[in-house]
Amino acid sequence: MSERLVKAVHGLQASVTDRDFEIGLATYLRERHPVSALVEMYGRFAAGDSELDVLLRRAIWRAGCRSFGHGVRIEPYVGFKHLETFEIGSHVFIGAAAYLQGRFDGKCRIGDHVWIGPQSYFDARDLTLEDYVGWGPGARVLGSEHTGIPTNVPIIQTDLVIKPVVVKRGADIGTGAVLLPGVTVGEGAIVGAGAVVTTDVPANAVVAGVPARLLRWRDGHDPQGD
């Protein structure tokens, strides 16, 4: 079968505003339930795919998050930790079985029109995904690492260093890629499938491999003009 070119879907969707009753429901939940109770409630609707399940997942996230936009789609089995540290933009898609691991004193900001593929993993203790980021299925980000010092104790007992990870506007992270602590992926950059990103990626670069290396610049980009 020959290749086909089809129109993008998620990135071209028109903006919508969630219904007043749904926003009111989230306000009701927030005012009457602590985050721990919201997490327990979420478990009742985490696996379903009915319209009611989708609506209640969204309402619970809106009630628990630091901020939450419109038109968000949270697929079944999406998991999280420390929902209260999340800032979720509008028209975000979070694929089935993705997991966002926040931290009580951390921050996770996901911008508008972000698409997150199924089974993705986020060490979301200091993470920013700017607007229109595409995140491939199974891709992962690690935002922390053990110091390994001193060497006479197991590494898992040594201090943990949390480093911010930033993916700039319009960048695309390929299926199964891994971003390591402290990296920034530049605006409009492409990270190839299965790549392991250990250093910053320039804007409009195309990188791939283990560790990820520059393959080329996106068509029409002149790095001399940066």
Q: What pLDDT does 135 receive? A: 98
Q: What pLDDT does 1 receive? A: 66
For residue 150, whether the previous peptide bond is cis, meaning omega lies within 30 degrees of 0, is: yes
Query: Which segments of the chain have a pLDDT < 50?
Result: none
Q: What pLDDT does 226 receive? A: 64
Residues 85-113 pLDDT 10s: 999 999 999 999 999 999 999 999 999 99
Q: What pLDDT does 7 receive? A: 81
CA–CA gap between residue 70 and residue 91 (Å, rounded): 6
CA–CA gap between residue 81 and residue 102 (Å, rounded): 5
Cβ-count burial 166-192 (b if 16+ within 10 Å, e if not):
bbbbbbbbbbbbbbbbbbbbbbbbbbb
Contact 97, 117 (CB under 8 A): no
Residues 158-191 pLDDT 10s: 999 999 999 999 999 999 999 999 999 999 999 9
Closest to 134 in 3D by CA, of 94, 161, 96? 94
